[in-house]
Amino acid sequence: MKFGPENNLKQHVYFQLFFWTALFVFGSVRNYGEYYDEMSPEIIIYNFCHWIFQIAGANFIYYVLVRHFFDRKKYVLFCLYLIVSLYFISVINRIFIVYIAEPLFTHELKDSFFDIFTDISYLLFHYTFMIISGAFIFISVMFILRYKDEKENTTQLQKEKAELELRSLKSQLNPHFLFNTLNNIYSLSVSNSEKTSESISRLSDILDYILYKGPNNEVPVAEEVSVIDDYIALESLRYSEGRLKIHKISTIYPGATIPPLLYLTLVENAFKHGAAKTANNAEINISISCDGQYSVFRIENTCENDDHEDSEGIGLKNVEKQLHYHYKDHFTFKVCRENNIFKVEIKTPTTL
């Protein structure tokens, strides 16, 4: 996470030093005003003794009672142990003052242990309330800090999870695309086609896009359209003249962006499940339109009766997951089939 154990310990120590020092100074200033601008050594000693047990009591209540009972929803045990703990901390505080602190400045007769243990009202008003006041402020601040840390940790974990999933999606997509493209080049090389060098050049441009643009969070739509043109030209090398008809129109807003490989995945899907599996002439229509608000991508391809029954595989599922990651619910993703035409439409905000 953001801080290691050593940094967390240092931060916690600094917080405790600052908090309890500020509380002691505040209490001293308040008493200074109550005693008409005169602070005797006795009052300072009393304040210091109470302050020590405020620190001990607050830390015991939070780190033992709250963490082991309240956080585990053992509320009855928490209340019971809280009452008992406050009583014994108050008793120890009074014993400390009577038998250790007061002999430093007075020789008056000391209260007996019996009186200390049984004078509940005196303990309550002069010791327990002081411990509770300091502990309440301390525990309240600790709960606020803990809530803030938990919220930040949850947000960070969700972000890391989403980024990990997105990297996983892209790692699935790229080999999937490369596998099909390399098969195309292999077919051309086997037949000693002159188009082999052209296909390698176009593949180089596509690989450059995947390697250097793929890891980005967003790319200009114009760059995605350019790599789609390379891909279409590369795929078209496989088909005889007239075998495949491709129509593409695009109106691109200069500032429009999308997640990389989003549109390319759908174009690849149209070739894989449409043109490659259609026995007769095949057709692919692509429309890309962007304005200042939305980017709309539409693609449709001819297909045989069962050609797209498996098309909800890696390609379309990756597209939908990336849309959810980047746009949450602010997008439209439509997939439908009408007769022998398979259609996909994506509508997203112009910028991420």
Dist CA 312 CA 309 (whole Å): 7
Backbone angles phi, psi at 9, to 5 degrees: -65, -45
3-state secondary structure of 247: strand
Amino acid at 340: N
pLDDT digit string (tens) for the chain, length 352 residues: 343 444 567 778 888 899 888 888 877 776 655 555 555 677 778 888 889 999 999 999 999 999 999 998 999 999 999 999 999 999 999 999 988 888 887 777 778 888 889 989 999 988 999 899 888 999 999 999 888 888 887 787 777 766 766 666 666 555 666 776 788 788 778 877 777 888 888 888 888 888 888 888 899 999 999 999 998 888 787 777 778 889 999 999 888 999 988 998 899 888 887 777 776 788 999 999 998 899 999 999 988 765 444 445 566 887 888 898 888 889 999 999 888 889 999 999 988 7
3-state secondary structure of 283: strand
Instruction: Look at the alpha carbons of 275, 278, 281, 284 in this order and tell me if their dihedral is positive or negative.
Output: negative
pLDDT score of 4: 43
Helix (H) or strand (E) holding 220: strand 219-220
pLDDT score of 295: 95
Closest by CA position to 296, among listed 259, 252, 337 = 252
pLDDT score of 3: 38
3-state secondary structure of 178: helix
Amino acid at 8: N
Torsion of CA 79, 80, 82, 84, to 10 degrees: 160
Bridge partners of 244, per DSSP, are 282
Dist CA 338 CA 342 (whole Å): 7
pLDDT score of 311: 47
Beta strand pairing call for 282-290 and 244-251: parallel
Question: What HEC string does 65-115 produce?
Answer: HHHHHHCCCCHHHHHHHHHHHHHHHHHHHHHHHHHHHHHHCCCCCCCCHHH
